[in-house]
Amino acid sequence: MAGVEINIQHLDKSFGSLKVLKDINFHVKPGEFVAIVGKSGCGKSTLLRTIAGLESVTGGVITFNSKEVKGVQETTRMMFQDARLLPWKDVLTNVRVGNSDRTKAEQALGNVGLLEKSSEWPGVLSGGQKQRVSLARALAGDPDLILFDEPLGALDALTRIEMQSLIEQLWKQQRFTSILVTHDVSEAIILADRVVLIEDGGISLDVKIDLQRPRVKDARFTVYENMILERILDKGEGV
Ligand SMILES: Nc1ncnc2c1ncn2[C@@H]1O[C@H](COP(=O)(O)OP(=O)(O)OP(=O)(O)O)[C@@H](O)[C@H]1O
């Protein structure tokens, strides 16, 4: 399925008197990969959860392919830091949660290199394998949008690099629109076409990453990295 086009206009999101997102305007092209960065607590997950339809909007409009959306869309999938697998169901059944089609589930497990683990319990898998299953579950739904909420945050450095490469490869093949929330500016530049910085409830920077894929950490990469990091750290806060 081709990626969805997302348009966010004048989005406000408050929790009671706390205004988290203020007049966010944001367009994502079909099949584009956008990363969202910003200091802890700036509202990255709230923005992602609102796009997912898990949070209602306080004001403004979100459209998918020019149609206003409210609530969770069947073709939107999410991936979190915690794989959220059901421990009492085997791997294949976990991939089929929310995706009844067995063939697609097997195909998705094959795409993440874990078909031979179909009948294992999640408990015997490594952290990286659990995240692969979680990715397979997202892919088996034939998504036009995957929302990644810091999915690689708990992985060791090597597994993280492998997962970045797997996500990039599958995104290139299937072209679902992707929005990634990450604390890791380098990861954002490795994966995204655009990196968006959230500050004070709004978008303070929106940078197109004009580097060939797969990305290597060369001088041009470092220029992007330093520019985004400096902008975040300018405000005297960490990521
Ligand atoms: N359901 C909720 N009810 C009340 N306040 C909330 C709720 N969800 C988030 N918040 C508040 O909204 C603000 C933004 O939270 P959010 O989780 O979106 O930030 P974040 O940028 O993703 O943070 P982190 O990088 O630490 O995960 C925080 O002040 C948080 O306490």
Residues belonging to the chain: 239
197 closest CA partner among 218, 167, 225: 225
Q: Whose CA is nearest to atom 17 of ligand 1?
A: 45
Residue closest via CA to ligand 1's atom 29 equals 41
Tracing tokens 């303070």 back to the chain, one arrives at: 204
Q: Which residues contact 167 (CB under 8 A, 6 or more apart)?
A: 135, 148, 178, 191
Average pLDDT over residues 104-121: 96
Residue 119 pairs in a beta bridge with none
Centroid of ligand 1 to alpha carbon of 43 (angstroms)? 5
- pLDDT higher than threshold 90 for residue 114: yes
Tokens of 102: 């067995």
Q: Tell me if the pTM is above 0.80.
A: yes
- R_g (Cα) of the chain, nearest Å: 18
Q: What is the pLDDT of residue 188?
A: 98
Confidence check: pLDDT of 237 > 60: no
Query: CA–CA separation, 42 vs 19, rounded Å?
Result: 11
pLDDT at position 239 is 54
The atom number, within ligand 1, closest to the CA of 47 reads 18
CA separation, residue 29 to residues 25, 122, 145 (Å): 14, 35, 11
Dist. CA 209–CA 202, nearest whole Å: 20
216 C-alpha vs ligand 1 centroid, how far in Å? Answer: 32
pLDDT at 235: 55
What are the chain's domains?
A: 1-75+143-152+182-239 (3.40.50.300)
In this structure, which residue's CA is closest to atom 28 in ligand 1?
Answer: 41
pLDDT at 186: 97
User: If you search the block for the tokens 């996500």, which residue do you land on?
Assistant: 167
CA dist., res. 107 & res. 199, Å (int) = 40
What is the DSSP code (8-state) at residue 116?
G
* pLDDT over 80 at 126, yes or no: yes
Residues contacting residue 226 through CB under 8 Å, at least 6 positions apart: none
The answer to ipTM > 0.90 is: yes
Ligand 1 centre from 225 Cα, in Å? Answer: 25
What 8-state DSSP symbol labels residue 132?
H
Residue 74: HSE in the Cβ half-sphere, 13 Å Cα cutoff: 5
Q: Within 13 A of 70's CA, how many CA atoms are on the CB side?
A: 6
Per-residue pLDDT tens digits for 57-101: 999 999 999 999 999 999 999 999 999 999 999 999 999 998 779
Residue 47 pLDDT exceeds 90: yes
- What number does the ligand 1 atom closest to the CA of 49 have? 18
pLDDT, mean of residues 153-169:
95
Q: What is the pLDDT of residue 100?
A: 74
Ligand 1 first shell, C-beta below 6 A: 15, 18, 20, 38, 40-46
Please state which of the ranges 45-59, 94-108, 132-146, 163-177 shows the lowest mean pLDDT: 94-108
